Amino acid sequence: MDHFNYVGGELFAEGVAVKKLAAQFGTPLYVYSSATLTHHFDVFNSAIPLKNKLVCFAVKSNSNFAVIKTLAAAGAGADVVSEGEIRRALLCGVAPNKIIFSGVGKTAAEMEFALNTGILQFNIESEPELELLSQVASKIGKTAEIAIRVNPNVDAATHGKITTGLKTSKFGIDINLGKAMFDKARKLPNIKPVSVSVHIGSQITDLKPFADAFVRVREFLAELAADGQKIERVDLGGGLGIPYELGKNPPHPADYGKMVQEIFAGLNYKFIFEPGRVIVGNAGILVSKVIYVKPTEEREFLIIDAAMNDLIRPSYYSAHHDIITVRENNNNAAKYDIVGPV
């Protein structure tokens, strides 16, 4: 659901004419719908039928201050990958104990800032990172609560550049080596291993990869319990896809939530989720205007003032985005190749 609709033949964002916004602020222009953001968060949050849960918006999916602030007001935490994103989340009203620090490249300075801030947990991606966090935490007299991010070697069946759960990925620890990582974490000073984390990719349009990964995580949790490891939280990441084209509908969050409940039934953990595009993906539009029509012998180009630096996804991995006119046109329009200045 979104709140961009034609009213009297003119495109509106909620109750505001897009043409009026373009005239006031210029183009290219991003326009976001707070009603859509809030609705999508509420739908996802209510679709997870678990009492003990935390939904953390993946800030990397859209780091706009107004977007984060809107979601924080709706009750979202934040999944971050840098000190800068932690600072953004805090400025936008996210409580420190609702912040998850993910990512493979955390620096010592970022770790120290996060520890002093009092974030909920660090998602550990490698053994050197674990060792460095122990050193930093010991130096400043803090205890770092951590999750070990395990890699279940599951193909998310999405684009190669956004699949993160295979053995060839830079992310996570091979799940078969996970128990040894927990053993090491328990022995390191100022480290408290309390969570298991998994994230296999984004724009996933089939529940099976999720189910395969989550079943393996449940098995791993049983292995840890048998080994005496006390786990408090399970971070299931994000990745649920959204429709970019008519007729291509990924699973509804309710179906995802039902699957999660079935797989983890009977387990008494706090479950963390890190949705990104499923919350924000169709909550905004990029408004551009035509500069020139350039005819050639082979084709006609429509040259607009927005370029790949404004919307990199199509050039980055052939992503599809619908293009519509601000003024509704029901007639058969001419065909153009739409290009930008870059």
In the chain, beta strands by DSSP E: 4-7, 10-13, 16-17, 29-32, 53-58, 77-80, 99-101, 121-124, 144-151, 173-174, 191-197, 233-235, 270-273, 284-287, 290-295, 300-304, 337-339
Are the C-beta atoms of 153 and 106 separated by less than 8 Å? no
Q: Is the pLDDT of residue 260 over 70?
A: yes
3-state secondary structure of 10: strand
Chain segment 38-83, per-residue pLDDT in tens: 999 999 999 999 989 999 999 999 999 999 999 999 999 999 999 9
Higher-pLDDT residue of 259 and 320 is 259
Determine the Cα–Cα distance for residues 132 and 58; give it in Å rounded to an integer: 24
Per residue in 71-87, pLDDT (tens digit) is 999 999 999 999 999 99
Count CA within 13 A, CB hemisphere, residue 225: 11
Structure-token pair, residue 324 = 């519509």
Residue-wise pLDDT for 156-195, tens only, equals 555 454 454 455 567 789 999 999 999 999 999 999 999 9
pLDDT band at 232 (very low <50, low <70, confident <90, very high): very high
Q: How far apart are CA 221 and CA 267, in angstroms?
A: 10
Single-letter amino acid, residue 239: G
Side chain identity, residue 244? Y
Q: What is the pTM of this model?
A: 0.91
CB proximity list for 30: less than 8 A, separation 6 or greater: 64, 284, 285, 286, 287
